[in-house]
Amino acid sequence: MGELIEVSLNSVAGLTSPKCMKMPRKIFDLAVVTFIDPGATHNFISSQIVKELALPITDTEPYGVRMGTGDNEEGRGICKGVMLQLQELDIVEEFLPLTLGSSDVILGMKWLETLRTTQTNWKYQTMVFTVGDRQVSLKGDPSLGKSLVSLKAMERTIRKEKTGVLIELNSTEKEDEAARMVPEFLEPILSQFQGIFDEPTELPPKRHIKHQIALKEGTDPVSVRPYRYSHFEKEEIEKMIQGMLMAGVIQPSRSPYSSLVILV
């Protein structure tokens, strides 16, 4: 299998974007969540479902799967002749077993290309196409999906609803745990150049080359008036300047030139 196999970020994270839909279906009377996603090149089935149903896996050469997160995973094998009850339609397809997130089955372009002409309304999560001499209509279930929400949209909702909780998750490591993550072969190099990573305590030494900005003759020194800062910002600026003065990384100057202080 030399072709490139890709799984979109929507499939991996379980997000419902404007171009994918989810619906509850069955495989051999087992309820599964099916994800129709044109961002996936192939059809995939959860490795857990394969194990629960004891589906036979036909061996293949190893193949690479590019995940929507940017990671690459190695897969092997294919489940052939798997029957999926898809609302008013029973389909039989080949699926690649893969560890999936919030979906059990992903129907990608391998299946969508067999439908030929389809009428799809992604806003209302509907898909209409013809199989043989009958028309088939599929309807997605929005309650099965998750959507990305911008911070501004979240703030608007909280202001409107007058209540809400914003939780930020971060991973932390103990110092000794982080140190153990350094590969052994790098430790001598880091030890040799430890001074580079130390907090500076003085101005850099004088060099034989001094950089300067050449202005046109007769040009007045650039002196920009500072912004008006809030009390909190002013306190923070003064605190940072005092810290850098004490560390020796800056020094007082009577230069006629000045520029703005910008907090990032």
Are 191 and 105 in the same domain? no
Single residue among 95, 118, 144 that ends a domain in this structure: 144
- Predicted confidence at residue 58, as pLDDT, reads 93
- Predicted confidence at residue 209, as pLDDT, reads 83
Single residue among 144, 161, 195 that ends a domain in this structure: 144
Question: What are the φ and ψ backbone dihedral angles of 192, each rounded to 5 degrees?
Answer: -65, -35
Rounded to two decimals, the pTM is 0.51
Within a domain: 241: yes
Beta bridge partners of 45: 97, 105
Are 48 and 109 in the same domain? yes
CATH of the domain at 95: 2.40.70.10
d(CA 27, CA 11): 19
Are 140 and 68 in the same domain? yes
- Predicted confidence at residue 149, as pLDDT, reads 63
DSSP 96: E
CB-based contact 103:37 (threshold 8 Å): no
Low-confidence residues of the chain: pLDDT under 50: 1
Question: Which residue range(s) make up the domain with 123?
Answer: 5-144
Number of domains present in the structure of the chain? 2
Helix (H, G, I), strand (E, B) or coil at 179: helix
Are 82 and 193 in the same domain? no
Are 191 and 139 in the same domain? no
Are 130 and 228 in the same domain? no
Beta carbons within 10 angstroms of residue 8's beta carbon: 22
- Predicted confidence at residue 104, as pLDDT, reads 85
d(CA 118, CA 129): 5
Are 102 and 228 in the same domain? no
Are 132 and 35 in the same domain? yes
- Predicted confidence at residue 1, as pLDDT, reads 46
Are 84 and 140 in the same domain? yes
